[in-house]
Chains A and B, each alone.
Chain A
């Protein structure tokens, strides 16, 4: 029997997005918490490109090693995001690279993206519910 496509792709992707957004929230919270810590290097969680690649490329190549990057086709689950650290290069002050305004923007953006994913998931499940009840 063919699997229900509805659960297969979109719901799985949205689940992953929620997961990664929560991780991103933690990274941003850590940056803001350490806005006054001398020598702290802010981090950023980069996952959008990886997710896009995992989605868009249906290449059948199997990754043979656990450290190999997934080449699409069911790779969505394997996207973990990459942590990018950007040290302070201004050369003044206490070598803390956190820019609180930028972090607040990232926080707001992350929250909106998270909420839109929850809404999409809700609609998706709503459709399914509708089909179950009236179909």
Chain B
């Protein structure tokens, strides 16, 4: 693998971080959703990453790995119960089950995903610059 191998690794990370951003925005958008196709309030989704071999050989076989989304898991924590008898989805006691989403957690996840995305873009830029410099040899 050549210099494009490094770009392939970073692009796998860009894809993974982008799906994480998608999940965060889905969680944020549905922070108050009480009705879903599967019934009940929306449940928070979590993205699980795992490293993925990229087909390198030699000494780098184990050391160089890309990243992929292993699964998008539904967070098992219980929904938030809020007392609001006027809500159409309130139960007999007047409690409404709201999604198990913590806005602070989501914002931290959002920032972290965006920073990781930036870091990988920097790596791609650096690989590109190296490749262009190699083209200048002998000029």
| A residues lining the B interface (CB < 8 Å) | 18, 21-23, 25-30, 32-38, 40, 43, 45, 80-83, 85, 100, 103-104, 107-108, 110-111, 114-115, 118, 121-122, 125
In the complex, how many angstroms separate the beta carbon of B50 from the nearest chain A beta carbon?
6
Known: A30-B63, A30-B64, A30-B65. A36 touches B116 (CB 8 A): yes
Known: A38-B49, A104-B119, A118-B137. A80 touches B112 (CB 8 A): no
| B residues lining the A interface (CB < 8 Å) | 1-3, 5-7, 9-10, 12-13, 16-17, 20, 48-51, 54, 56, 58-60, 62-67, 112-113, 115-116, 119-120, 122-123, 126-127, 129-130, 133-134, 136-139
In the complex, which residues of chain A have a beta carbon less than 8 angstroms from the beta carbon of B51? 30, 34, 37, 40
Partner of A26, one of B9, B48, B133: B9
CA A32 to CA B123, docked complex, whole Å: 8
Are B67 and A121 in touch, CB under 8 angstroms?
A: no
In the complex, which residues of chain B have a beta carbon less than 8 angstroms from the beta carbon of A118? 133-134, 136-137
The chain B residue with its CB closest to the CB of A115 is: B133
Are A35 and B137 in touch, CB under 8 angstroms?
A: no
Are B63 and A85 in touch, CB under 8 angstroms?
A: yes
CA A13 to CA B17, docked complex, whole Å: 38
CA A114 to CA B135, docked complex, whole Å: 12
In the complex, which residues of chain B have a beta carbon less than 8 angstroms from the beta carbon of A30? 9, 51, 54, 63-66
In the complex, which residues of chain A have a beta carbon less than 8 angstroms from the beta carbon of B112? 36
- Given contact pairs A29-B9, A83-B60, a sample of 14 additional A-B residue pairs in the complex whose CB atoms are under 8 Å apart: A26-B56, A29-B64, A29-B120, A33-B12, A36-B112, A36-B113, A36-B116, A37-B49, A45-B59, A45-B63, A107-B123, A108-B126, A118-B136, A122-B137
